[in-house]
Structure 1
Amino acid sequence: MVYHARQPSLWEGKEGKMAGLSEVVEAEIRYLEAMIARLEAGEEDPEDFRVYRLKNGIYGIRGRPEHHMIRIKLPVGRITPEGLRVLADVAEAYTENRLAHVTTRQAVQLHHVHRRDVPKVLRAVNAVGLTTREACGHSIRAITCCPYAGVSPEEPFDVTPYAERAYRYFLRHPVGQNLPRKFKVAFEGCATDHARTPIHDIGVVAAVEGGKRGFRIYVGGGLGAAPMSAELLEAFTPEEDLLPTMLAIIRLFDRYGNRKVLTQARLKFLVKKWGIAAFREAVREERRVVKLTASGADLEAWAPPEDYPPPRLPNPPRKPFSFAPGFDAWRRTNLFKQKQEGFYTVTVRLPLGDITPEGLRALAEIAETYAGEIRSAISQNFLLRFVPEEALGGLYEALLQAGLAHTDAHTLLDITRCPGADTCNLAITRSRGLAQALGEKLQALPLAQDPGVKAISVKISGCPNSCGQHPIADIGFYGSSRKVGDREVPHYVLLLGGRTREGEARFGQVVGRIPAHRVPEAVEAILQRYLGERQNGESFQAYLDRVGAASFKALLEQFQEIPPYAETPEFYQDLGAEGEAFSVQLGRGECAV
């Protein structure tokens, strides 16, 4: 397989090394090591350490100040088999739970890493083209890309080289080091909005005009407690103007974004305050200034990138079919037919978004045998691309042996969830526990095999901040609590009807608040009503549009009752924390900042 080696960002300087770590990266890690030594000796300001570690993707862990979560950015979702093996090594050696967690923004998180081991993890992942730099903080976060870019029959051209060029350009760029708030960018080439561009600060969508490549650019989207849909900035931005336009937007945000009120600091609030017409004119003027004052390095970086050559294709044993259990179901839900004749992209579904070191190593070996490329997806899964059709049976059997042949990718059972209160300081509930309980419930329901039900999306967040993307789910949940007597009871706020398409995000409507332990049966009731009332096989989204999400409020009232503690003490415990009395324990937020 051919993979593109990591290029240092423009801002690392020309001394960046192709093998090993660049001098800049090594200097950053050594500085971190020195800060840790001073902190443990009582000679370092904890706040200064916090600021530096966050800029390098190192988060605090709830209730464990000496342990951290490390967020590792996979450049535009791409990773090599060597990268998977390194993730396996560091997850095995340095995490307590021996898991890597794939996120909703194509990154990988390692939880419960002791502070003394953090520099070792950073050295290991940087050596294989990954980075933690600017994975947190008020910076330009991971630039995400449609995982089907380059293989989709729908796309006018592959946006991957453009997304990667933007990633390299803005990594360590001075403009992105102290923004008013975090800044998220997504690239999409398909008519289907796999990248969820309307919920990003900048959404970039491939377009062709008069035979010339360019982009439709959207600005001002975002989720959080006040979700907003991005608005169209330009219907066609020529490819050579892509980076100058992005830089102009970020410079305006840096200059005029709200630095006084954190909850009003995202770009979406600036776009709303000015109005899209005024913001559009400001971007055009700022872009003119950007281009007039460009350096030679800028001009070189702004040039349209060359298309990627196709990967060296695998030559696996020929076995197009398999008689192993589940093969037919896996073919129906986990395969995407590529525009390249005879090849498929295969989704490796990761329940709960988690994968073990053994799974990572097995996936690396399987990818080397059967695939041309590996990408992560915002569905919290991995994708194997350029898998020959004639090898699908062999691939399935290899995945089955490795415990990675889970069916039902991109269906009701492919539940999205954030880390929740297991590790996050802002979370109210343990979203992982609900995702597991709900998944088990749905797996056992015959009605979950109905095609219309299968197409429903479920997303769960542990708080209103939307890290699990609950506002854009058909069925979404976020954690809350309710006091019953002198005891707290974990609850989830239920939303119905969220979705995105290019240029539009429709956010779910709140229809009730359900005790955590009753959520699975409430979801079953929603699905039963949909099956009983739909007309002419209409989709769940079309059904909700017809009857209205609010019509479910009466149905859900029966699930809102809380029995006395003496009768059912488990109601007063969170899912995933059985045997522990539930109480809301909020700390200083980091993951959402």
Structure 2
Amino acid sequence: MTLINRKMKDLLLQLVPKYRQLSDDFFSGRISPIQYMGASGSFGSYAERGGQTAMLRLRFIAGAISHDQLAYLADCIETHAIQKIHFTSGQALQFHHLSGPEVLDIYAEALEHDVFGTASGGSHFSSIAADPLRGIDPAETFDISPYVRAAAAYRLAVFPTLRLPRKFKIAFTASRRNETHATFKDLGFVWDGNGGFDVYAAGGLGPRPQMGLCLARHTEPSQCLYYLDAMLQLFSEHGNYEAHARARSRYLLLTLGEEEFRRLFTEYLEKAWEKELDIMPEPGVAAPGAMPPVVQADSRIQPQKQDGLYYIHYQLRGGLPKKEVFTALLRYLATCPEAAGRLGMDSSFYAINLRPDEAARALAIIAGDTAKDDFHASVACIGATTCQMGIRDAQACLTALLQALDADDVATRYLPQLHISGCHFSCGGHQAGSIGLRGALKIVDKHPYPAYVVSAGGSSRLGQEAFGEEIATLKEEDLPRFFTALAAVLEEAGQPFRDWYPAHQKHLAALVQTFE
């Protein structure tokens, strides 16, 4: 599917001269990083710490990388000598340490391949999240793909004229795992298992996290754009344009109160019904026949619902692939006739639509760059050495933690996947992690130490949604000792953390506090 038609591409390319002037002003020192950030987010770019380089965020249709885009990405990485790539927790790719001209060149050329940085940051309808295995998961009962694509097309269509006070994120899910956080996004569509979507609004992570308010039950899937349009118009016309820190949609619900919020939403929904926003989905994937045989005893290779096709799961530390490995994988997948890619919400990558021999070959390419367990596949934001907003370097923290435990041969098989954010903005999703770490500063005997606030019990699973409870603040240097001790407890219990924790919350709190 071509998401960006020629007219839209030309419209977006007309913005390049404006961004070129902005970029020139920033890199020549005529404007500050904050001034640059206020406008550059519209192009998916932000300055990095130090003000000498920038990053570019590239989005696809909720992380779905088409076959043709595989080769383009490999070409882009090699042509522009990209040195740092980050799989984000929002199903996007970020290229780091770019010069101003490099950002402009990649932004413009990517549009020709339906890859866009447009509105990927700033005060825009910035992202759409969806189950990464939609349409191919043997366990799914409904394919949300047509509705995700329709929302993506709508997003670009309204970009030129839609004014919002802050970023706006939506999500779709048909999975009990709810890894897209659809019940606590600015707007979320949750398949109810019985022919419709439940609609949630005004949720989100970050400062003052909030679960979404359920606005409707069992809505007709073909009508989801009416709910999206209504919520966007409500946010546009009633959002807070004065206080940036209180401008996300969850604050609008807090300000208005539930009753008034519902009344206004209903009013905007009535107006939306006057538009023509029905979605006519193309035919879905046929129900699977006999399940294909397992290629090999490796959990990274799994069968799809389509007979004879498989996907592989590429998980790695903190979402940072080795450039050579990722490029080689992209090059190989581009030679597989049906192959495509999907970006996961946990900073991972899926190669899909592979024949048995192709799956085995792809797995061999990534063999030296994959995490051995959930703990080694922990999620981390890009970190304060790169991000201007960060307090702590989440990537360095994760690297040091893994190195320390591996050096001591600590058994990590039962430890959970961590979610680490360098600050309170939760770019690493720490608030929804079973164990989360948030960058902080700890004062001990009047001396400041790099530290992390430890939270536990976060969950996005449908019916079990919870934000983690903050239970301790540990100096960064003490984290390896805590996780070594926790690993020993879990080994003795013979249980993964997710199974052990519900009955041992007080045990965990007591354990972590011994390291405070």
TM-score (structure 1 length as normaliser): 0.78
Greater C-alpha Rg:
1
C-alpha displacement at 1:208, in angstroms? 5.5
* Structure 1 residues 38 and 519, CA gap change in structure 2 (3 angstroms): closer
Task: Report the 3-state secondary structure (helix = DSSP H, G, I; strand = E; otherwise coil) of the residue aligned with 2:15.
Answer: helix
Aligned partner of 2:144 in structure 1 is 159
Q: Which amino acid aligns with 1:358?
A: E
State the Cα distance separating 1:89 from its structure 2 match: 4.2
Q: Describe the SS at the equivalent of 2:14.
A: helix
Match of 2:377?
A: 414
- Residues 1:69 and 2:36 are matched in the alignment: no
8 Å contact 2:74–2:330 — kept in the other structure? Answer: no
Partner of 1:246: 228
Q: Which of 344, 367, 379 does residue 346 from structure 2 map onto?
A: 379
Quote how far apart the aligned CAs of 1:182 are. Answer: 1.3
Aligned 8 A contact 1:88 1:356 in 2: no
Aligned partner of 1:396 in structure 2 is 363
* Structure 2 gap segments, 5+ residues each: 287-292
Residue 199 of structure 2 corresponds to 217
Residues 95-133 of structure 1: CA distance to partner in whole angstroms, max 9, x if unpaired?
A: 6x7121110001011112112322111122222111111
Amino acid in the other structure paired with 1:519: L
- How many angstroms apart in 2 are the aligned matches of 1:37 and 1:449? 48
* Gap change, CA 1:340 and 1:39, over 3 Å in 2: closer
State how far apart, in whole Å, the 1-side matches of 2:448 and 2:340 are.
48
1:51 aligns with 38
CA-CA distance at 1:143 after TM superposition: 0.6
Deviations 1:210-243 (A, max 9, x none): xxx4311111221102111223221111123210
Q: Tell me, in whole angstroms, the C-alpha distance in 2 between the residues paired with 1:175 and 1:545.
A: 48
Name the residue aligned to 2:302: 336
Alignment-derived partner of residue 73 in structure 2: 87
Contact between 1:81 and 1:365, CA under 8 Å: does it hold in 2?
Answer: no
Is the 2:184–2:200 contact (alpha carbons within 8 Å) kept by the matching residues of 1?
no
**1:90 to 1:512, Cα distance in 2 relative to 1, 3 A:** same
Q: Distance in 1 between matches of 2:358 and 2:37?
A: 49
| Correspondence for 1:492 | 452
Counterpart of 2:511 (choices 532, 551, 555) is 555
Spell out the pairing of 1:59-458 with structure 2 (5 A cutoff): 59-64=46-51, 66-92=52-78, 94=80, 98-171=83-156, 173=158, 177-207=162-192, 209=194, 213-276=195-258, 278-292=260-274, 294=275, 299=276, 301-307=277-283, 320-321=295-296, 328=297, 331-332=298-299, 334-370=300-336, 372-389=339-356, 391-400=358-367, 403-404=368-369, 406-408=370-372, 411-443=374-406, 448=411, 450=413, 453=414, 456-458=416-418
Query: Once the 2 structures are TM-superposed, how far is the Cα of residue 488 of structure 1 from its aligned partner?
Result: 3.2
1:88 to partner: Cα distance: 4.0
Q: Which amino acid aligns with 2:144?
A: V
1:504-523 matched pairs, under 5 angstroms: 504-523=464-483
Distance 1:335 1:153 in 2: 13
Aligned mates of 2:118, 2:401 — CA distance in 1: 35
Q: Distance in 2 between matches of 1:286 and 1:495?
A: 38
1:375 partner SS: strand
Question: 1:285, CA displacement in angstroms?
Answer: 2.5
| Cα distance in 2 between the residues matched to 1:40 and 1:412 | 39
Task: Name 1:15's counterpart in structure 2.
Answer: 7
1:87–1:357 contact (8 Å) kept in structure 2: no
Aligned residue type for 2:500: Y
- Paired amino acid for 2:364: E
Q: Map 1:458-469 onto structure 2 (within 5 A).
A: 458-469=418-429
Distance 1:75 1:443 in 2: 37
Q: Cα offset for 1:205?
A: 1.8
Distance 1:247 1:458, change over 3 A: same
* Farther-moved stretch of structure 1 (119-128 vs 200-209): 200-209
Change (3 A) 1:50 1:445: closer
Letter in 1 for 2:50: G
- The reply to whether residue 545 of structure 1 matches residue 509 of structure 2 is no
> Which stretch of the first structure deviates more once superposed, 383-392 or 81-90?
81-90
Structure 2 counterpart of 1:477, from 406, 431, 437: 437
Task: State the one-letter code of the partner of 2:13.
Answer: E
1:388-416 residue CA offsets vs partner (Å, 9 max, x unmatched): 3465434433443xx44x2536x222110
Distance 1:56 1:441, change over 3 A: same
Q: CA deviation at 1:478?
A: 0.9
- How big is the shift at 1:60? 1.6
Post-superposition offset of 1:149: 0.4
- Matches of 2:486 and 2:358, distance apart in 1: 40
The structure-2 alpha-carbon separation of the partners of 1:73 and 1:476, relative to structure 1 and needing over 3 Å to count, comes to same
Gap runs ≥5 in structure 1: 9-13, 17-21, 311-317, 322-327, 561-593
Q: Which amino acid is the alignment partner of residue 495 of structure 1?
A: S
Q: Distance in 2 between matches of 1:39 and 1:529?
A: 52
Displacement of 1:449 in angstroms is 5.6
Q: Find the aligned partners of 2:32 and 2:501 in 1 and give their Cα distance.
A: 53
Once the two structures are superposed, residues 247-273 of structure 1 have per-residue CA deviations (whole angstroms, 9 ceiling, x without a partner) of 101111122223333332221222344
Tell me which residue corresponds to 2:290. none
State the alpha-carbon separation in 1 of the partners of residues 364 and 28 from structure 2: 53
CA distance in 1, matches of 2:49, 2:152: 30
> Does the CA contact (< 8 Å) of 1:81 and 1:364 recur in 2?
no
Aligned pair 1:5/2:2, yes or no?
Answer: yes
Which deviates further from its counterpart, 130-139 or 30-39?
30-39
Distance 1:472 1:100 in 2: 24
Task: With the length of structure 2 as denominator, give the TM-score of the two structures.
Answer: 0.89
Please give the root-mean-square deviation of Cα atoms over the aligned residues, in Å.
2.9
Structure-2 separation of matches of 1:46 and 1:352: 26
State how far apart, in whole Å, the 1-side matches of 2:358 and 2:34 are.
54
Residues 284/154 of structure 1: CA separation in 2 closer, same or farther (3 Å cut) = farther
Amino acid at match of 1:408: K
Q: Which moved more, 1:45-54 or 1:22-31?
A: 45-54
Residue identity in the other structure for 2:340: E
SS at match of 2:310: strand
**What residue identity is the alignment partner of 2:508?**
F
Aligned length: 509
Residue 502 of structure 1 corresponds to 462
Query: What secondary structure sits across from 2:58 in the alignment?
Result: strand
Q: Contact between 1:35 and 1:49, CA under 8 Å: does it hold in 2? A: yes
Cα distance 1:319–1:244, how it changes in 2: closer, same or farther (>3 A)? Answer: closer
Given the superposition, is the C-alpha separation of residues 185 and 35 from structure 1 closer, same or farther in structure 2, using an over 3 Å criterion? Answer: same
Q: Distance in 1 between matches of 2:29 and 2:485?
A: 56
**Percentage of matched positions with identical amino acids:** 25
Query: How far is the alpha carbon of 1:351 from its aligned partner?
Result: 2.5
Counterparts of 2:353 and 2:24, CA distance in 1? 47
Paired amino acid for 1:60: A
